[in-house]
Amino acid sequence: MLGGSLYQVYAIKEAVKMGYYVITCDYLPNNPGHQYAHEYYNVSTTDKEAVYELAKRLQVDGVVAYASDPAAPTAAYVCEKLGLPTSPYTSVEILSQKDLFRRYLAEHNFNVPKYVGCSSYTEALEQIKNLTLPVMIKPVDSSGSKGINKLTNVDQLKDFIEDALSYSREKRIIIEEFIEKDGYQISGDAFSVDGILKFHCFGNEYYSSSVVKDFAPLGECWPFQMKPEIITELEKDIQRLISELKMGTTAYNVEAILGKNGKLYILELGARSGGSLIPQITELATGVNMVKYVIKAALGEDCSEIEMSPARGYWSNYMLHSKQTGRFKEISFDENFAKNNLVDCVTELKSGDNVHAFRDAGDALGTLILKYSSKEEMFNVIENMDQFVHIIID
> Of 130, 158, 177, at which residue does a domain stop?
177
> Of 177, 204, 231, at which residue does a domain stop?
177
Q: Is 252 helix (H, G, I), strand (E, B) or coil?
A: strand
Amino acid at 198: K
Structural domain harbouring 344: 313-393
Residues 168 and 248 occupy one common structural domain = no
pLDDT at 29: 98
CATH number for 148: 3.30.1490.20
Burial degree of 122 (CB within 10 A; 0-12, 13-18, 19+)? exposed
Domain annotation covers residue 277:
yes
Residues 244 and 341 occupy one common structural domain = no
Residues 185 and 267 occupy one common structural domain = yes
Residues 40 and 140 occupy one common structural domain = no
Residues 300 and 289 occupy one common structural domain = yes
pLDDT at 361: 82
One DSSP character per residue, 257-299 reads EEBTTS-EEEEEEESS--STTHHHHHHHHH---HHHHHHHHHT
pLDDT at 209: 74
CATH number for 369: 3.30.470.20
Domain annotation covers residue 383:
yes
31, 67 Cβ separation under 8 angstroms = no
Residues 137 and 192 occupy one common structural domain = no
Domain annotation covers residue 96:
no
Domain annotation covers residue 151:
yes
Residues 207 and 325 occupy one common structural domain = no
Residues 317 and 365 occupy one common structural domain = yes
Domain annotation covers residue 195:
yes
> Of 50, 68, 86, at which residue does a domain stop?
86
173, 124 Cβ separation under 8 angstroms = yes
Residues 320 and 368 occupy one common structural domain = yes
Angle at 217 between CA 285 and CA 234, to 5 degrees: 60
Residues 308 and 187 occupy one common structural domain = yes
How many domains is the chain built from? 4
Residues 184 and 282 occupy one common structural domain = yes
72, 97 Cβ separation under 8 angstroms = no
Domain annotation covers residue 244:
yes
Domain annotation covers residue 93:
no
Residues 193 and 307 occupy one common structural domain = yes
Domain annotation covers residue 98:
no
pLDDT at 143: 82
CATH number for 44: 3.40.50.20
pLDDT at 208: 80
Angle at 82 between CA 76 and CA 83, to 5 degrees: 85
User: In order along the chain (394 residues), what is the average pLDDT of each group of 10 residues?
Assistant: 98 98 98 98 98 98 97 98 98 97 98 96 95 96 88 95 95 96 96 98 89 81 95 98 98 97 97 96 98 98 97 97 94 97 96 92 93 98 96 94
